[in-house]
Structure 1
Amino acid sequence: MRILGISGLYHDSAAALVVDGQIEAAAQEERFTRKKHDAEFPRHAVEYCLSVSGCGLEELDAVVFYDKPFIKFERLLETYLSFAPAGFTSFRMAMPLWLREKLFQKQIIAKELKKLSPGFDVGKLLFTEHHLSHAASAFYPSPFEEAAVLTMDGVGEWATMTLAIGRGNDLKVHKELHFPHSLGLLYSAVTYYIGFKVNSGEYKVMGLAPYGEPRFAKLMLEKLIDLKEDGSFQLDQSYFNYGVGLTMTNDRFAALFGEPVRKPEQLLTQFHMDMAASVQAVTEEIVLRLARSVRAETGMKNLCLAGGVALNCVANGKLLREGLFDGLWIQPAAGDAGGALGAALAGYHLFHGKPREVPAKGDAMRGSYLGPEFSQAEIEAELAAAGAKFEVLDDAALIDLTAQGLADGKAVGWMQGRMEFGPRALGGRSILGDPRSPAMQKTLNLKVKYRESFRPFAPSVLREDVADWFELDGDSPYMLLVADVREELRREMTQEEKALFGIDKLNVPRSTIPAVTHVDYSARIQTVHADTNPRYHRLICRFKALTGCPVVVNTSFNVRGEPIVCTASDAFRCFMGSEIELLVVGNCLLRKEEQDPALKLNYKDAFELD
């Protein structure tokens, strides 16, 4: 049985294919169109998924869309009516779009599918609810026979947070929190207020938080949010504008905290860092209260997470250390793109009642390496067509030269195997560096990624060595858990360094691996496993043999505002448009100094800022 899941027409469009209960393929549309967070119908992603299975649309048993547009429209109307006459400008702008496009999404989706295959039977097009899609994406691929499933995001149809229980192939939602009360929208409101882009810049807020103090957390809990002991809450809508307005916050919000909304690219001050620290602290408190109440109420020993809030790896790390559950598993594509996978899995297990097999080892996500891969011949043909100069090496020489390049302090573009599904690069489409270098974080941010200097980088560490370097003794294959660098590896700061504030903390090395040690001694860890990514594992093993360090810097292979690279030509363009010094694609190795200078690109301003 073949079931295709689709998400999109809002942001982060994607497609995923499930064949006889196995996840065969999944990819975001942005990777093909090169348009960040592409919201259009995911035509390229659908075509890719079908190519993996070697079938046409008409051969599918079902196509499942990840939410229900009519219920979303009902929520929109009811919200405008409840706030009337406020919000008329927003209403006037939103209604024509809904009446012209979004209200009739079933017809739009059916029309797009028929473009791909005129023989497609529209009767096979099904819809599932947004948060059920999230819950399905979290539970069904997990390593648990039964689990509580917590989903948290901005908003789906009405729900902003749900508790579901999964047993075997059954999954039922038991509790919901409804719009406008939303943890995701609270975090997005602060994201907007301190000058970052909503649905894109939330992870920047998380990265900025350790530079600040949570001095506004108490005020948030007193004025913005009525938080209950069980983690449920209500937001005071008099401070927000997202219900019916064109912005996330209003003048009353700005007056409460004493500063206007920061303009993008305006200088970040201690105030903005403290706001980030405060909303992060509030988020962590809510997540911990929710988890405690879920454990007490359900008695479940395992917890699964999905929804955009589940990408908050700092909160996830604190939840893990709390020890409330025997098992914690987080969907790596926790945002809306992952809804496509959840829709396909819900179609298979819930709509068609098919049984579920729990993996004997690990989970069912295949390391999240679910996107396109290319043969050596295809890679060489693309690079040659782009005018690249490269040498083709055997595996041993390739690994050896790449590891030596890292040890020499070079920034390395690394494109191998299948592309990752989800927002994190996991060693398939990554930029790598030496974590021992005190200058590496600043170099990668300013000269390679062209982004804000404060943003931290993640360590990829051999699974077998993780406990020797970090305060974590377990799997973290999807870079969704934060833990501290081990104390014996930390560097004691001087009194002058301890007195530094805000962004001045950035340049102080904090451990023997300063490039991946954040200002609070934490790191967003990816454990690398020989069974899911053997080539990446071999590279880090070789780097360890050369340096004694089983850790490399891993950041996504793109510049700021660009989607992660998909093809060899994408990788070469990024290589020539940034200061990456070494590019490794398949068995091809490229050195920057050997390339034609005429192919150099001005990539710094090539993409809209995220």
Structure 2
Amino acid sequence: MQILGISAYYHDSAAALIRDGIVVAAAQEERFTRKKQDSDFPRNATRFCLEAAQGSAIDHVVFYDKPFLKFERILETYISFAPKGFASFRAGLPIWAKEKLFQRSLLTKELNDLAPGQFASDDLLFSEHHLSHAASAFYPSPFEEALVLTMDGVGEWATTSVAIGRDSELKIIRELVFPHSLGLLYSAFTTYAGFRVNSGEYKLMGLAPYGKPRFAESIRKHLVDVKEDGSFRLNQRYFNYCTGLSMTNARFHNLFGRQPRLPESPLEDFHADIAASIQQVTEDIVLRMTRALARETGQKNLCLAGGVALNCVANGKIAADGAFDNIWIQPAAGDAGGALGAALAAYHLHVKAPRRVCSPDAMSGSALGPEFSLSEVEAALSASGARFTVVPDESLFDETAAALAAGEVVGWFQGRMEFGPRALGNRSILGDPRRSDMQKKFNLKIKFRESFRPFAPSVLAEAAADWFDMSVPTSPYMLTVSTVAEQHRTISAQHAAAHHRLKDQYLVRSDIPAVTHTDFSARLQTVHAEQSPRYHALLKAFETLTGCPMLINTSFNVRNEPIVCTPAEAFTCFMATGMDRLVVGNVMMRKVDQDITLVTDYISRLEMD
């Protein structure tokens, strides 16, 4: 049995295919259209999944939420706040009337444009938004039984949901509903700090360690009423997202004494303090919630999904807290993962098919997207004008490791594209973490983004505990934060605490300064030979050469660009940045050997993300 899951029409649309309960393929539409967080129907991602079906019939198509319930929430919200916000409601109503309320027919038309006559309107199923998230977290997890916590901006009504998963059963037992949303609270501060909602939250999290949480009590006093069990209510007098076109209002701005920061304007310690404050409040809420749920349910395993589950600092705090013995986070925790969750929910809850638990999980290292054969790579790169050589495995890893040890920045393109927001060694840009200049070089000359943003280390799984104080045994999806172990720090905790402001961002704090944040933290990826054999082999070669079992790993893209999908896109990005070398499968090329007339400047066309 094959089931196709689809998420679309909000942000980060995607498609996923499962076969007899096994995840076969999944991809975000943005990777094909090159439109960041593309929200349109995922035509290309769906076509990719249909090709992965290998001509066999699709038994069910499942959409990740219920449009009528969402419209009900929007309608009731505007009625509750009337007449405030009527103009924006009136402006949005034609879109709902045209697209959202007739989504069954719209989806059926889109599907039959791709595969004429294969899809009937009556065969289309609709999951609920938070059930899709919960299913994406529980069913691929390695647990027979678990508590599932989903937190995001908003689905239909729910903003936070609690579910219990047992074998193939999954039941939501509790919800918090709109407008009380931890995701929207965090996003409000994201926009206030001058970053973009749905992408800038990563920046706010990375900015927080440079600040002091001096506004945390003000947030608790005026903005959010948090109960002992982690439930909360937001004071809507300070927000504008229910009926307006902005997240915050004048009362919010007056509370903190400043107007919102303009995008790309200078960052100050004030903004770092704002980030530190909302990060502390967020961690407090999720820790109260997970502790209370652990006590109440007696569950030992925790699964997380939803956009808030991408806050890897909070995830690390949950793991270190010990309320649950084990934690597993869906690598595509945002709305893209809803496509996968919808398919899995249909298989286990609608079809009533049994579940097979996989170890270490059922996500195949999140390598679920397109891949390219050697002949396809050579053809694409030749058409792009690249000058390259084909290097056998016997020397590929050693030669690449030597280039990295010599200070080169390497684009690394291998196997299937990752599903979710993180590059995990298949579409990555790599560098030497021991070099103190690498963090600045990566930000300013490779990624073309703000200089404060930290980079993640990819470390051999078997060596991780020697270098980091692990809050979890493994972190294959780069979704938890650990700290650099004491023996690898070069300054004391007291010295670091006294020098953690934005002006101190280039202070060398450890033996691996390029991946050590101001508070000694690192967003860790553990690399396992069975999940990522080629990436593991490269790390092993680098360790043999240098004694260091890790590399800087950042996604293969520049600011506000989706991660590259094809070899041609990898070459274009390579030629537009300060990368020194590109390795695509077994094809290797150096920047110094390329035709300089192929250098492109598409970065200037991309806005800050």
Query: TM-score over 0.5 for the alignment?
Result: yes
Cα contact 1:457–1:516 (8 A) shared by 2: yes
1:80 deviates by 0.2
1:12 maps onto 2:15 in alignment: no
1:98 maps onto 2:96 in alignment: yes
Aligned to 1:41: 41
Residues 383 and 134 of structure 1: is their aligned pair in 2 closer, same or farther, counting only changes over 3 Å?
same
List per-residue Cα deviations over 1:313-350 (Å, max 9, x = no partner): 00000111111111100000000000000000001001
Trace 1:376-415 onto structure 2 (pairs within 5 A).
Answer: 376-415=374-413
TM-score w.r.t. length of structure 1: 0.98
Residues 468 and 207 of structure 1: is their aligned pair in 2 closer, same or farther, counting only changes over 3 Å?
same
List per-residue Cα deviations over 1:94-133 (Å, max 9, x = no partner): 1121112222111111110111122122221100000000
Query: Match of 2:522, SS?
Result: strand
Query: Match of 1:507, SS?
Result: coil
Between 458-467 and 84-93, report the one with greater CA deviation.
84-93
Residues 495 and 526 of structure 1: is their aligned pair in 2 closer, same or farther, counting only changes over 3 Å?
closer
1:53 deviates by 2.2
Residues 577 and 191 of structure 1: is their aligned pair in 2 closer, same or farther, counting only changes over 3 Å?
same
1:553, 1:313 → 2: CA distance? 17
Question: For this pair of structures, how many residues does the alignment match?
Answer: 607
Gaps of 5+ in 2: none
Aligned to 2:574: 575
Cα contact 1:578–1:603 (8 A) shared by 2: no
Aligned to 1:469: 467
1:495 deviates by 8.8
2:122, 2:145 → 1: CA distance? 32
- The letter for the 1-side match of 2:186 is Y
1:135, 1:98 → 2: CA distance? 26
Cα contact 1:306–1:331 (8 A) shared by 2: yes
Aligned to 1:30: 30
1:356 maps onto 2:355 in alignment: yes
Query: Match of 1:85, SS?
Result: coil
Aligned to 1:451: 449
List per-residue Cα deviations over 1:538-578 (Å, max 9, x = no partner): 00000000000001000000001100000000100000010
- The letter for the 2-side match of 1:286 is I
- The letter for the 1-side match of 2:420 is G
Aligned to 1:535: 534
Aligned to 2:594: 595
1:28, 1:55 → 2: CA distance? 22
Aligned to 2:324: 325
2:375, 2:447 → 1: CA distance? 29
- The letter for the 2-side match of 1:46 is T
- The letter for the 2-side match of 1:389 is R
1:89 deviates by 2.2
1:49, 1:167 → 2: CA distance? 29
TM-score w.r.t. length of structure 2: 0.98
Aligned to 2:522: 523
Cα contact 2:500–2:519 (8 A) shared by 1: no
Aligned to 2:175: 176
Aligned to 2:605: 606
Cα contact 1:497–1:505 (8 A) shared by 2: no
Aligned to 1:77: 75
Aligned to 1:63: 61
Cα contact 2:26–2:369 (8 A) shared by 1: yes
List per-residue Cα deviations over 1:510-558 (Å, max 9, x = no partner): 1000000000000000000000110000000000000000010000000
Query: Match of 2:605, SS?
Result: coil
Trace 1:20-419 onto structure 2 (pairs within 5 A).
Answer: 20-55=20-55, 59-119=57-117, 120-359=119-358, 361-419=359-417
1:583, 1:183 → 2: CA distance? 40
Residues 166 and 584 of structure 1: is their aligned pair in 2 closer, same or farther, counting only changes over 3 Å?
same
- Percent identical across equivalent pairs? 64
List per-residue Cα deviations over 1:476-510 (Å, max 9, x = no partner): 00000101000111111699876546211211011
Cα contact 2:497–2:519 (8 A) shared by 1: no
1:325, 1:103 → 2: CA distance? 41
1:604 deviates by 2.7
2:298, 2:431 → 1: CA distance? 44
1:494, 1:374 → 2: CA distance? 47
- The letter for the 1-side match of 2:41 is F
CA RMSD of aligned residues (A): 1.1
1:55 deviates by 2.2
Residues 494 and 186 of structure 1: is their aligned pair in 2 closer, same or farther, counting only changes over 3 Å?
closer
Query: Match of 2:135, SS?
Result: helix
1:121, 1:96 → 2: CA distance? 26
Residues 107 and 522 of structure 1: is their aligned pair in 2 closer, same or farther, counting only changes over 3 Å?
same
Aligned to 2:547: 548
Residues 500 and 467 of structure 1: is their aligned pair in 2 closer, same or farther, counting only changes over 3 Å?
closer
Query: Match of 1:319, SS?
Result: helix
Cα contact 1:5–1:66 (8 A) shared by 2: yes
1:118, 1:433 → 2: CA distance? 47
- The letter for the 2-side match of 1:566 is C
Cα contact 2:161–2:176 (8 A) shared by 1: yes
1:487 maps onto 2:486 in alignment: yes
Query: Match of 2:24, SS?
Result: strand
Residues 318 and 224 of structure 1: is their aligned pair in 2 closer, same or farther, counting only changes over 3 Å?
same
1:606 deviates by 2.8
Cα contact 2:490–2:510 (8 A) shared by 1: yes
Cα contact 2:500–2:518 (8 A) shared by 1: no
Cα contact 1:313–1:524 (8 A) shared by 2: yes
- The letter for the 1-side match of 2:313 is V
Cα contact 2:209–2:500 (8 A) shared by 1: no
Gaps of 5+ in 1: none
1:219, 1:336 → 2: CA distance? 31
Query: Match of 1:605, SS?
Result: helix
- The letter for the 2-side match of 1:252 is R
